Amino acid sequence: MKWFVILSVVPVLLFLVFGDKTSKPIPMGQASAPAQAVPPSEAPAVSKASMEEVDKLTLAYLNGKVFPSGAVVCKSEVLDGYVFIGCKNRQLGGESAVRLWVLKEGEYLAVNGSARQDLERLPSAGHLKEMPLPLPASINIEEAIKATA
């Protein structure tokens, strides 16, 4: 029985490795049309923070020694036209509350109370600031924390 299974699998493997040599290429005239670019009006206006931008905030947390142990994890998401970065401390016992930031024109703006408290301990070269209060009505802190958690 083992040999039958092995022998029945060999042709399938050979086909997967070497393909069907009898098929012909599709002529260019019959190929599907190339993908169209998205018009600028339909393209998203804001994109997630780059890895470098997220790493810059992560490094500030590491250098400031805000968390005594564990790993600092930061994640970027875009909601309602804002670039949010949520940072938290991850340990074996669980995770800390999310520190919520908005990235705007190269500045990191502390949004929630946890991030605002961390500002005192974070080393800043002028790029870490508090977001002015009252927050814009379009910012939903709960949704942003869920998205960046």
Domain assignment of residue 25, yes or no: no
Which tens digits make up the pLDDT trace of 81-93?
999 999 999 999 8
Structure tokens at 10: 């060999």
Q: Which domain holds residue 112?
A: 51-148
For residue 112, CA distances in Å to 25, 81, 131, 135 come to 58, 18, 9, 10
User: In this structure, are residues 133 and 110 in contact, taking their beta carbons and an 8 Å threshold?
Assistant: no
Answer whether 0.75 is exceeded by the pTM: no
| Within-domain flag for 37 | no
- Domain-embedded: residue 79: yes
Residue 98 counted as domain residue: yes
In a domain, 32, yes or no: no
Give how many domains the chain has, as a whole number: 1
Asked whether residue 125 is domain-assigned, the answer is yes
Contact predicate 80/144, CB 8 Å: no
Mean pLDDT of the chain: 80
By mean pLDDT, which of 67-71, 96-100, 101-105, 111-115 is the weakest? Answer: 67-71
Residue 1 lies in a domain: no
Instruction: Please write the tens of the pLDDT for every residue from 62-83.
Output: 999 999 899 999 999 999 999 9
CA 46 to chain centre: 13
Q: Is residue 128 part of a domain?
A: yes
Instruction: Give how far Cα 73 sits from Cα of 27, 33, 61, Å.
Output: 50, 42, 10
Residues 83/139, Cβ–Cβ less than 8 Å: no
Q: What is the mean pLDDT of residues 32-48?
A: 56
Nearest to 121 by CA among 89, 80, 82: 89
